[in-house]
A and B are shown apart, each in its own frame.
Chain A
Amino acid sequence: MTVVEHQGQTDAPRPAPPPHWRPRTDPVPLLPDAEPYRLLGVAAAPAKPGARRTKASAKKSPAAAADPALLRRLYAELVRGRRYNAQATALTRQGRLAVYPSTTGQEAAEIAAALVLQDQDWLFPSYRDTLAVVARGVDPLETLTLLRGDKHTGYDPHATRVAPLSTPLATHLPHAVGLAHAARLRGDDVVALAMCGDGGTSEGDFHEALNFAAVWQAPVVFLVQNNGYAISVPLDKQTAAPSLAHKAVGYGMPGRLVDGNDVLALHEVLGEAVLRARTGGGPTLVEAVTYRLDAHTNADDATRYREAEEVEVWRAHDPVRLLERELLALGILDEDAIDAERERAEEFAAGLRARLNADADPHPEELFAHVYATPTPHLAEQAEQLRAEREAEAEGAAHDDAATHDDERESGR
Chain B
Amino acid sequence: MTTATTVTSTPTTGAPKPTTMAAALNRALRDALTEDPAVHVLGEDVGTLGGVFRITDGLAAEFGDQRCLDTPLAEAGILGAAVGMAMYGLRPVVEMQFDAFAYPAFEQVVSHVAKMRNRTGGRLPLPLTIRIPYGGGIGGVEHHSDSSEIYYMATPGLHVVTPATVADAYGLLRAAIASDDPVVLMEPKRLYWSKADWSPENPEPVEPLGRAVVRRPGRSATLLTYGPSLPVCLEAAEAAVAEGWDLEVVDLRSLVPFDDETVAASVRRTGRAVVVHEAQGFAGPGGEIAARVTERCFHHLEAPVLRVTGFDIPFPPPMLERHHLPGVDRILDAVARLQWEAER
Contacts and interface: CB of A to CB of B under 8 A. Distances in A.
B3 A374 contact: yes
Interface residues of B, number: 51
Interface in B175-217: 179-181, 210
Contacts of A157: 87, 120, 123-124
A176 B83 CA distance: 9
B256 interface: yes
Given A212-B77, A371-B118, A376 B257 contact: yes
A376 B256 contact: yes
A156 B122 CA distance: 9
Q: Which of B3, B119, B179, B258 has most chain A Cβ within 10 Å?
A: B119
A123 to B, nearest CB: 13
A33 B77 CA distance: 29
Interface in B55-86: 66, 71-72, 74, 76-77, 79-86
A171 B108 contact: yes
Nearest to B179: A373
A49 interface: no
A204 interface: yes
B112 interface: yes
Contacts of A177: 77, 80-81, 84
A211 B122 contact: no
A175 B112 contact: yes
Contact of B3 (A172, A185, A370, A373): A373
A171 B83 CA distance: 11
A179 B86 CA distance: 8
Contacts of B125: 373
B72 A369 contact: no
A164 B84 contact: no
Contacts of B123: 153, 156-158
A212 B81 contact: yes
- Please indicate which of the listed interface residues B81, B86, B116, B118 has the most CB atoms of chain A within 10 Å of its own CB: B81
Contact of A164 (B72, B80, B108, B120): B120
B2 A374 contact: yes
A152 B111 contact: no
Given A171-B112, A372-B157, A373-B181, A152 B119 contact: yes
Interface string A207-239: 111011001000000000000000000000000
A256 interface: no
Interface in A349-384: 366, 369-378
A153 B220 CA distance: 52
Contacts of B92: 178
A174 B104 contact: no
Nearest to B259: A377
Contacts of B121: 151-153, 366, 369-370
Contacts of B79: 174
Contacts of A209: 77, 80
B4 interface: yes
A377 B1 contact: yes
B107 interface: yes
Contacts of B80: 171, 173-175, 177-178, 205, 208-209
B18 interface: no
B87 A378 contact: no
A186 interface: yes
B156 interface: yes
B90 interface: yes
A293 interface: no
Given A171-B112, A373-B125, A178 B76 contact: no
Interface of A: 151-153, 156-158, 163-164, 167-168, 171-183, 185-186, 192, 204-205, 207-209, 211-212, 215, 366, 369-378
Closest 5 CB pairs of A and B: A174-B80, A178-B84, A208-B77, A178-B81, A179-B84
12 contacts: A152-B119, A164-B124, A171-B76, A171-B108, A185-B40, A205-B80, A205-B108, A208-B76, A369-B121, A372-B157, A377-B260, A378-B260
